[in-house]
Amino acid sequence: MRRLILFDIDGTLVRGGPAKDAFVQAMQETFGTARDADRVLFAGKTDPQIAREILTGAGVDRATVDRGLPALWERYLDYLDAALEHHPMTVLPGVRALLDGLALLGDIGVGLVTGNIAGGAKLKLDSAGLWDHFGVGSYGSDHEERDELPSIALRRARERWGHLIEADQAVIVGDTPRDVACGRVGGMRTLAVATGMFSTSQLEATGADHVLADFSATEQVVALLTA
C-alpha cells in the first residue's frame, strides 16, 4: 500500500447536525448537569475529553464521571440516531468527489481518525451517505487522548490490508490544530483544511504540510494526498 489517508469527521467531511444537542441532553439525564457546555470548545477534542471537561467544570468528581460514561454514551447514541433522521449531517464541498477519486486508486487506504466515539462516527457518516468509504478508523472510544489515535488507526490498517504500512506513509487530514498536532506526534504527514472554525492562516501556523481552503479542487487534493 502506497499511502494511508486518515480523515477527521466534523468540520473536515461534514458539518451541522444535532450531535451537540444530543450530547448535552444525554449528559443532563446521566449526570444531572451539563453546566457551561456552551463555553467548552468541542473542536479537535475526543468525546470523552469533552464530557470530562464539562463535568469537571460542573464539580463532578472523576470517579463519578468514569462510572457514568457508559450510560452517557448509550443515551447519546439513542438521541443522535433519532435526531439525525430529520437533521442529517451536511457534506462539505468537494468531499464526495474526493472520496470517490481516492476509491479509484487501488494502492490507497482510506480511514478515520476522529474524536467521535465509534458509534457516533458511524451514525454521522451514515446520515451523509459516506460511511462505506472508510476501511478502518480510530475513535474517541479507543482512547481519550487524541494523540494516541493515529497509532491505533495505523495498527488496524496493517491488520486489515496485510501490509507493513509505516507512519510516514500516512496522512492525517483535519480542520483543527489538534488534528495537525496528533499527526505530527504520530510521525505522519498532515493536511489541514479551513472548512471548520480555523482559518487558513491559523492552520498554516501549526506547521501542517499542506493547508487548503476546501476540497473543491479534486485533482489537486488527490495529488497532494497521494504524492
End-to-end CA distance of the chain: 13
Same domain for 26 and 48? yes
Provide, rounded to the nearest whole percent, the portion of the chain with pLDDT above 90.
90
With 90 as the cut, is the pLDDT of residue 105 above it?
A: yes
Q: How far apart are CA 223 and CA 227, in angstroms?
A: 6
Same domain for 80 and 184? no
Provide, rounded to the nearest whole percent, the portion of the chain with pLDDT above 70.
100
Q: Which residue segment(s) compose the domain that 77 sits in?
A: 19-84
Domain boundary among 69, 84, 99: 84
Closest CA to 1 of 192, 167, 179: 167
Domain boundary among 84, 99, 119: 84
Same domain for 10 and 71? no
Same domain for 109 and 214? yes
Domain boundary among 84, 105, 136: 84
Residue 78 sits in a domain whose CATH number is 1.10.150
Q: How far apart are CA 71 and CA 121, in angstroms?
A: 18
Residue 154 sits in a domain whose CATH number is 3.40.50.1000
Mean pLDDT to the nearest integer, 19-27: 94
User: What's the pLDDT at 94?
Assistant: 97
Counting the structural domains of the chain, the total is: 2
Cα dihedral 39, 175, 15, 49 in deg (nearest 10): -40
- Confidence band, pLDDT 50/70/90 cuts, at residue 141: very high
Q: How far apart are CA 112 and CA 120, in angstroms?
A: 13
At residue 169, the 3 state secondary structure works out as helix
Same domain for 118 and 42? no
User: What's the pLDDT at 70?
Assistant: 97
Same domain for 208 and 114? yes
